[in-house]
Amino acid sequence: MITETGKPYPLGATLRDNGVNFAVFSAHATRVTLCLFDSVDAMQCTQEVDLPERSGNVWHGFIPGIQVGQLYGFRVDGPYEPEKGHRFNRNKLLLDPYARSIARIPTWHSSLLGYRAGEEDVSWNDEDSAHWAAVAKVCHESLAEPVQNGLEIPWERTVIYETHVRGMTMNHPDVDPALRGTYAGLASDPVLSHLKELGVTSIQLLPVQTKFSEEHLAKNGLVNYWGYNTLGYFAPEPTYASKPDDAAAEFRAMVDRFHEEGMEVIIDVVFNHTAEGNRFGPTLSFRGFDNLSYYLSREDNPRILHNFTGTGNTLDVRQPVVMQLIADSLRYWARDMGVDGFRFDLATVLARAGQQVDMDGPFFILLQQDPILRSRKMIAEPWDLGPEGYRLGSFVSPWREWNGRFRDDVRTYWTGEVRTTADFASRMSGSSDIFTGRRPSASINFITAHDGFSLADVVMYEQRHNQANLEDNRDGHEPNHSRNWGQEGPSSDPAILDRRNRVRRALVSSLLLAQGVPMILGGDELGRTQQGNNNAYCQDNPISWLDWSSSAVDKDFLDFVKEVVTARTATPLLSQRRFLNEKGSALAKWWHASGREMTQEDWKNPHERVVGLHLWSEPSVDSIDQTSKHAFLMFNPTEEPCSFLMPELGVGAWRIALPFDDLVTLTKGLCHLEGLSVALLKA
C-alpha cells in the first residue's frame, strides 16, 4: 500500500486530499502499524501498514484513497517491561484514542489481556485480539456549522435537570418506540414539553462518550448503565442512537433541538480514569499505546497504577499528551457537538500531581485561556479517593461545584438527625462559609443525584437494597441521611404516606428556594423509585428508567414541583448574584418564630429547629420601580404545627406564594405552618 509521511497534527484520523492522515502519540513505542478492516465481523485486518514517520512522539502517515467509513485500528511494538511501566504488545489491536466513531465495541475475551489470564500481570499473552477488540471508523471532520459560543444562560437563572439519555425515554408512551432510549427520543416533543413546563433551563446528561462495561458485570449479565467507564473520548455512545452508525450526527441534532427550545445541554465527562482498569485490566487503547505516559504509576513501582478513582487507574494529567487529549476532547464536544458545559466526574484528579493536589495547576490555566472552553459552564465533582482528595470549595472561578454538604445538611435537617439548624441556614443562604470570596452560583445544590437514593426513596428507605447489583448488598454510598417515617419501603398507612409526602415537598422546596444553582434529579418530579437501590449503576432496566405511565406518575407532586420552580423564577430574591447582605445583594435576616431576629444563643440551641428567613431589596436610585420587595421563607422540620410572628410591613402586606393548600394560613401578621412543611410569603 502506498503511504506518505503525512502530518503529525491533528491527532487521529483526518480526511484530506483524497485520503486520510493518521497520527497517534507514543513516547516509548518502536513501531506503530495501521490495521484496516473490511467489516466489523472480520476475524483479522485485511491490510497492515507501518506509519512511516515520527515527529517527536507522534507517529503519522498519509494513506491515499481511503474514504469515509473505513474501519481501522492499530498495533504498537515496544518493550513489554511491566516492572518499568511498559506494556506494549503487538498482538493487541488498539483503538485510536481520537476515534470519532467506534464501529465495534470490544467483547470480553482472554485475548484482550496483555498477560495470560489467571497468571501474574508480568506474563506475556500472544493471543491476537483483532476479532474481539474495538474498531474505529473514519468519519467526516465536521458534522455541521461549529458552535463558537453556547447559550450562556446566566448562572442565577439556571435550573439543572440531571438525567440519562436512555433511561429518560425507555418507558415513555408518547415517544416513538423506535426512538425510545436514544438521543432523538430525548429531543422529542413530549420530553421537551415536559422539561419546559417544569422550568428547566439546562439538561445535564450522564456520560455520553463511548463506554465499555467491566468484566464482572458482563459475566453477571449486567452493564455499566451510568457510563462512567470511558472507552473513547470523542465518540458518542452508539447504543444511544436510533442509527448507531450516525450517532454523532444524531447527538448534534439533539443539541440543536434543545437550543431551539432555549435549553442548554451539559454532559458528564470522565477524565479521571478509563475503561482499562488496573494492571490486571484489558489492553484496549491507552495502555497499549503508552501505559507509562497515559497513566499515573507509583513512583517506587511503575508496575502498579495509582487508584485515586476506585476504578483501578488514574489518568496522569501532568503529562502533556493527557492534557492535550482532554482539551481536544472538550473542544470537540463544545464546538462540533455544540454542548454548553461539562460536569467533571472526580474532578480533583485534574489537579493531581501524584500524591499532591494543585488547585492552580496547568490544566485549569489551560481551560481559562481557551477561547472556546472559557465560555462554557464548568462543573466539578470536587473530590476523588486519593490523599487530600475532598476539595469542596477549592475550585476557583469560573468553576462551579457539586455541593455534597448541601445534600447532607438539608437532608439531616428534615430527618431530625444531629446536624444543626445553623448548618441548614448556611446551605439555604448559598454556602458562603464554603465558597469564601466567590458567589452563590459557585454552589450546585442538590438533594439527590444519579448516585444514591431517588427523592421518593429518601423518605421511604433507611437502608440500601442493592441485591440486584449482585454484590451482596455491600456496594453503595452510606450514610444515606434518609428516613422511612415508620415503615421500610412502600406503605399503605395514611399517616406514614402523609409524613413522607410532606418531607418530600419540604426537601424539593429547600432545594429550589435556596441561594445557589439547583439541580433536580430526573424522575424525582414524577415520584420515581429505585426500590431502595442507591447504586443503580449497572441496572439498565425499569429500576433506573423513568416510568411515565399514569399509574406511576405522582401528578400532585409533579404539579407542586412546577409551582416551586415557578415561584423561584418569579422571585429574584431567591437567586442572588452575590451572597446575602453583601453590597449589591439582597438584605436578609434569619427570623425566630416569636417575631425577632435569631441570636447566637438561638443557633447554639439544639431545640431551636423552626426558623424563618426574611429577604428584601431596597429600591435602587436607577430603578423605575421605587418599592421595596420582600420574601419570607418558613421552615418547620418538626411534626408539630407552629406559628410565626411576621416582620411588620403593614396590614395585609404579606400574601402566601407557596404552597397553595391548607398547610399554611395567614391572619393579622401571624402565619400558621403545619409540621414538616415549608412556606414562602411575599410582599
Q: What is the pLDDT of residues 149-171, one digit of tens each?
A: 889 999 999 999 999 999 999 99
CA nearest to 465, candidates 490, 448, 446, 485 = 490
Is residue 618 predicted with pLDDT exceeding 90?
no
Q: What confidence tier does 624 reach under pLDDT thresholds 50, 70, 90?
A: very low
pLDDT at 68: 95
pLDDT at 12: 98
Q: Give CA separation, 399 vs 57, 75, 266, 288, 500, in Å.
A: 32, 39, 14, 34, 35
Q: Which three cell numbers stand for residue 359?
A: 488547585
pLDDT at 558: 98
pLDDT at 148: 85
| Active-site position among 276, 381, 384, 408 | 381
Mean pLDDT of 29-45: 95
The structural architecture, per CATH, of the domain 587-682 is: Sandwich (2.60)
Q: What is the pLDDT of residues 279-308, one digit of tens each?
A: 999 999 999 999 999 999 999 999 999 999
Residues of the chain with CATH 2.60.40.1180: 587-682
| Active-site position among 96, 264, 345, 423 | 345
Q: What confidence tier does 620 reach under pLDDT thresholds 50, 70, 90?
A: low
CA dihedral 62, 66, 72, 77 (to 10 degrees): -30
Distance of CA 599 to the CA centre of its chain: 39
| DSSP code of residue 572 | G
CA nearest to 120, candidates 278, 279, 307 = 279
Is residue 621 predicted with pLDDT exceeding 70?
no
Q: What is the mean pLDDT of the chain?
A: 95
For residue 215, indicate whether it is catalytic: no
Residues of the chain with CATH 2.60.40.10: 12-137
pLDDT at 419: 76
Superfamily grouping for domain 12-137: Immunoglobulins (2.60.40.10)
Is residue 263 predicted with pLDDT exceeding 80?
yes
The model's pTM: 0.97
Is residue 625 predicted with pLDDT exceeding 80?
no
Is residue 623 predicted with pLDDT exceeding 50?
no
pLDDT at 482: 98
Q: CB-based contacts of 510: which residues, under 8 Å, 6+ apart?
A: 410, 413, 414, 428, 447, 635, 678
Distance CA 34, CA 300 (A): 34
Mean pLDDT of 94-98: 98
Q: Which of 152-161, 355-364, 524-533, 620-629 has the least mean pLDDT? A: 620-629
For residue 119, indicate whether it is catalytic: no
Q: Which of 40-44, 231-235, 341-345, 563-567 has the least mean pLDDT? A: 40-44
- Quickly tell me which residue has 404539579 as its cell: 559
Q: What is the pLDDT of residues 55-65, one digit of tens each?
A: 999 999 999 99
Specify burial of residue 621 (Cβ count, 10 A radius: 0-12, 13-18, 19+): exposed
Mean pLDDT of 86-108: 98
Is residue 373 predicted with pLDDT exceeding 90?
yes
Q: What confidence tier does 1 reach under pLDDT thresholds 50, 70, 90?
A: confident
Q: What confidence tier does 662 reach under pLDDT thresholds 50, 70, 90?
A: confident
pLDDT at 641: 97
pLDDT at 628: 59
Residue 617: how many CB atoms within 10 A of its CB? 17
Is residue 627 predicted with pLDDT exceeding 50?
no
User: Is the distance from CB of 165 to CB of 240 less than 8 angstroms?
Assistant: yes
pLDDT at 388: 92
Percent of the chain with pLDDT strictly greater than 70: 99
Is residue 626 predicted with pLDDT exceeding 80?
no
